[in-house]
Each structure stands twice: as structure tokens, then as C-alpha cells.
Structure 1
């Protein structure tokens, strides 16, 4: 996936790798602008994640791609063809909703085959495709069950199988794991990733969960107020957030102004020294320990440092609990240090 680094970047041109394209897309509802000048290319055979807080425009973007909402202006292409005003049933897209939307009176097999029946796929081919798809998601043994007999994770797999069975050109997932408990969410992340790898499906996933996006994405698009704040692979975006919004959303907690620049460091990259040694450090601040919290794997150390102005700067350091080294206590005077490769300079 490639996406505009800013909403003013030029739209991409159609290519053989583009499963879908948003070109200068704007979506308004009365006085509210949900999506504002979106330029985005979804690459074939990849998982692209739309990530951001509630109200950022990610679900509206997915609904425009699905055909449930028509953009106020701009063009949407699917496989190089203009699909801006094409109805949903003409787009050959599979979609899994947050609620799964399974038919309670139908068996698992009938649920999975529902889209094939609507498309008038012959009975024998339909049975084979249903069986193959249920085997793919590991539910072949439950083909005759009703949804109410299934666990949440199993229902999620049925919804996924129903969307895959029609052999869509794009699979759209709208917060598909949000109704599962934490353990099942982790399992299903790996399961969706496995299914995508085995089938080569192009997937667009909407989520507000940064861990979900980092683990599952080939490309992630961070949105705020209808605009793209940053996009790229997780390995590109996570260590190099473009601005404070992206950094905060990805879990950066320390923000320091120095020489007119805004710097950020992740808690696990802050080191604590009992002395003034600063050799090789880009950042070295005297600080006072205010709180120590033991969290099993690590200890979170809350500190107050003096910044370039008069206001104190709150900082958080995460120290491995099983490593020998400093044992800071509330009230200790220490030096907070960060190496040059651990400090990120932000645009604002």
C-alpha cells in the first residue's frame, strides 16, 4: 500500500498492484466533514489497516469503498475501474461487520453459502465452496450447527467464511475483533493473517487498536479528523512517528521541548542514571522520581524533569524488572538519559 503522507499529496495513478484507490475523496454530512481530501492506494494481496480514534473517518472510508456511502466528491477505483457510484452488489466485495450479522435460523453451512446462493452459484459448486471455506477457517465439523451454539470466536470465523466464500476482490473488516475477549482477539489476529496469506486476499481492516494494526498490517494508515496523518508499513511508522498525534496514538508518552524542537522517547528507551554521566546521550535531564509501579515484566518509573522552560516535564521510564541496575525510589534525584537513536524529532 502507498498512501498520501499528507492530504495534499498527488493521487496515485492506476497500476496492476492497485486493488482500490481513493482519489481526492471528500465526504460531508451537513456541516460535518468526515473525510477530507483522502488520497490512498490499497495494494493487491496485502492487509491495509485504517487506524485511528472514534470519529477519525476510518469507518466512513470503509463504507465508501463498500458502496454503502457515496462520497461528496472525488473518485473511488476498484481494480482500475471507476466504482464511485457503483452499488454494493456490483463491487464483488466481502464484508465482516463488528456484530457478525449471522442468520440465527440458518446452519453454519447455510450462512456461509448465503452469498453464493444469491449469486446463483450451482448447488454442487456451492456445497464444495462452502465445505472448502469452512475447512479453511477450521469449522468443517460445525457445518450443521446453528450460530447460537457457537462461541464468539467461532461465530467470527463463520462471518469471515461467509465473506470469503464469494471469492471477493476485496475483503473489508470493520472492527471484526472488538466483541471478543483479549485472549480470543490475539488468536484471531493470527488466524486472519494466516487465512489472508493462504488465499492471497486483499484486506482492508478498520480498527482503533494499535496492537491489532501493528501485528496484522502490511500497511497502516493513521487518520485524524478525516485526514491521513501518516502511512506506511508498521516497521516504518512505529519507530518514526510523523507528529505528536501519531506518537501519542502509538504509545509514546514522553514529550520534551528542546531548542525549539519537540522530541519524544518511548518509556522503554529512557535510561535512569544515578550520576551525571551523559557520554553518547542525545538527551540527559536531571529529574526527580515521583512514583514506582511494579508491573511484573517491568517497573514503570514516573519522574519530573526540568525542561527548557519553567514548567516541569512529566516522564515515564520502563525498566525491566528482572535486570540488575538502578533501583530508583520516590524522591531520588537521578539523570534521565536517552541515546541518539532512541530520540524521535516530531513535526508538531
Structure 2
């Protein structure tokens, strides 16, 4: 697949602080790539260097095979949507969307045609004459998106564009961005700290921490096989314990099975691993019970575990043990255990 953009050994330091550390990363043409991680991991700094708003301390950045390390933002052929949208309040929706075309001296008739096409693409053709203050947050976000794509950029950069929306609108806009990306054939780089957002929207996820890439790949490859504890925790894994001969492993709460204390001790069998545990609390979550437990792993350490259990799948003889203080056995199938790098 063609590479749309590339970081080669890129670092960025602010005084003694290294925000991005020797980053090597290829952005593939036509894909939506997410830079994912907690605050301070280097994702926004990386995006701003790609956009040209920051210069690397070391290394090179290429767009379309051309070295753009020292090229100013306006000459990189990029569209960008910021967290704040940055719409001009005194301009109509249509004028906001067409602003970049006007700067590029696109003729008026062509400009009007492309603005109309972009607004139809984001579903706002009927609001072309409105001012931004008359729009909802979701509509303003769509205007910012239309303004970015109307210039037909080589790359579309999105800096946490959904963080100011409520939960319902965030879900809606995830679907809209994916639809628009597919219909327009855009290459998109999205910065987010929301792992659910990244899993749902990405063709490729890049998990960052401390200015470095911890792991990258398609969501359906990365999610079931996190490389290390940081990636696992960031993707929502909650259970970590040591097993004989396996080292540190993790398993998701919904893949832990909870039984009565019929099997005692820590064992491994063809069914995976079985660990004795004590129930510490139960939280009712509609169709599920969130069971918190304390268990002892191979090192002798007491480790907290979380199991998400459907009540209707628990055998009647096991129900009495599902109370605080109850002794149970927790097991997981071999294929559900993920070995992690130490």
C-alpha cells in the first residue's frame, strides 16, 4: 500500500522534556490512522509536526514522498480540524467552508460548486446561510470538517475533534467521519485518548506512551493481543497475574468464568487456568454482574481480579458463593490468556 506520510527518526524536545522520541511511523494512503494514548504521550505533538506547526528537533517528515520537514503548513496540502473547530462567527456556514478556497484564489463559480458538494457530504446543505452561533455543537463540527475537506487535501488531520460533544453525538459523528472518509477517499490521521473511539474508527491504531510507539496495527489484531501491560491497560484490560511457566498474563473480565469452590488451588489444565479467589464485592449492571475478587498468583502475591458475569449463565449451585467473602474458582480458557512482555 502507498505511503501517504512518514516520520523518520523524528524527535521533539521542549527544553529537557522529550515529547516525541525517535518516532518511525508510516501513514498509509486511504486509511484512517489513530494516534492513541494518554495526555502527554506525544500524539498531539506528532500531529502538529506533521501539520507543520512544530518543527522536529531531529529527524525528517515526508508527505507524498517529499521531504516537508521545513515546509510551512500552508504548503503541505493538508486539511485540519481542531478540538475547538475555530469557525469564523461573523461568516455564514458557506463562507466558512469556502474560506480556504478563497485564499487559494479558486474562481467564484468553482468555489460555490465545491462548497455545495462539501456541505452535502456532511449533511448541511440546507444550513449554508446560517451563522455558526445558530448551530449545535455537532453541526459546527461538521462545518469544520467540510471546511477541511473542501480543499481536497492530501491528508486530513483531526485533533480530538469529538471531545467537546456529548456521548450520543460522539457516537453519531464517529460513523459520519468514517462515512465521509470512505466516500471522499481521504487519508485521515486522528488524535484521540478514547480507546473505544479508536477501536471503532481506525483502519490502523498507533498506541503511544512517553513519546514512543508501544504497538501499532489494525484494531482486530491489536485488541486481542496487546504487546505489554501499558497497551493492555489502555485498551481496557483489568486482570494481570503471574502464571507458572507463562510469566505475566492478562485476560478480559468478560472472558473470566466464575464457579463455586469445587476446584481448589491454582491449577493449569487443558481448559486453561483455574485460580482460587475470594469475592470482595458485587456490582449489579443490568444483565451482568461485575464481580471483584482477590486471588493469589504464582508469585504468592494477592492480585485483584474483575469478572463480568451474566447471572443467567451461573449454575444454581454456584450462586451462594457469589457474595462478598465467598470462596470461588476463577478460570480462563487458554486462548483467552494473553502473555505480555515483561
TM-score by length of 2: 0.95
1:199 aligned to 151, 161, 184, which one? 184
Task: Name the SS for the 1:98 alignment partner.
Answer: coil
SS in 1 for 2:227: coil
CA offset at residue 297 of structure 1? 3.3
Superposed CA RMSD in Å reads 1.2
Which of 140, 154, 169 lines up with 1:184 in the alignment? 169
Which residue of the partner structure matches residue 263 of structure 2?
Answer: 276
CA distance in 2, matches of 1:310, 1:210: 32
Q: CA deviation at 1:258?
A: 2.1
**Which residue number in structure 1 is paired with residue 253 of structure 2?**
267
SS at match of 1:37: strand
CA contact (8 A) 1:296 1:321 kept: no
Identify the residue that residue 286 of structure 2 maps to in structure 1.
Answer: 296
How far is 1:259 from its partner? 2.8
Instruction: Tell me how far 1:311 sits from its aligned partner.
Output: 2.6
Q: Which residue of 2 aligns with 1:6?
A: none
Whole-Å separation in 1 of the counterparts to 2:167 and 2:287: 18
Matches within 5 A, 1:44-193: 44-193=29-178
Distance 2:202 2:304 in 1: 32
**Unpaired runs of 5+ in structure 1?**
1-15
Match of 1:337 among 290, 308, 331: 331
Farther off after superposition, 283-292 or 302-311: 302-311
**Comparing 152-161 with 275-284, which one deviates more in the overlay?**
275-284
Secondary structure, in 3 states, of the residue corresponding to 1:241? coil
CA distance in 1, matches of 2:328, 2:66: 61
Q: How many residues align?
A: 333
SS of residue in 1 equivalent to 2:54: coil
- Report the equivalent of 1:347: 341
Residue segments in structure 2 that go unaligned for 5+ positions in a row: none
Alignment partner, residue 194 of structure 2 = 209
